[in-house]
Structure 1
Amino acid sequence: MNDAIDARSVALAGFGLDSLIELGASSVVAWELIEVPGGCRGLAAERGGVAQNPD
């Protein structure tokens, strides 16, 4: 962000801010998947997306 301020580039500052938002959003998704028993499969089955293997 300092580089964007030094260069007085609104586009570079916007790109940096967007990257921070994306990082935060992906962290929330990862956190949610970790908390669900069974990981992705458990979450999908919980929401009716896919059937779990009977193994």
Structure 2
Amino acid sequence: MILLVLFWAAALFILYTYVGYPVLIGLLARLSFSEGDCTKYQESAALPELAACKAA
């Protein structure tokens, strides 16, 4: 019985990782920003034209 519970818990965790989390982030992004919020950043000259990230 314990192995069955552990199996389904792991399966649900994997499902949440690949499906639930991206859906949750997408919903939060739609709820927190409107279309007009990003235009002020696109017109700003203070933003760099290129950004680089280096993994150490």
Specify the structure having the higher radius of gyration (Cα). Answer: 2
The answer to whether the superposition gives a TM-score over 0.5 is: no
More helix, by proportion: 1
Q: Give the TM-score normalised by the residue count of structure 1.
A: 0.43
Greater RCO (Cα-Cα under 8 Å, separation 6 or more): 1
TM-score, normalised with respect to structure 2: 0.42
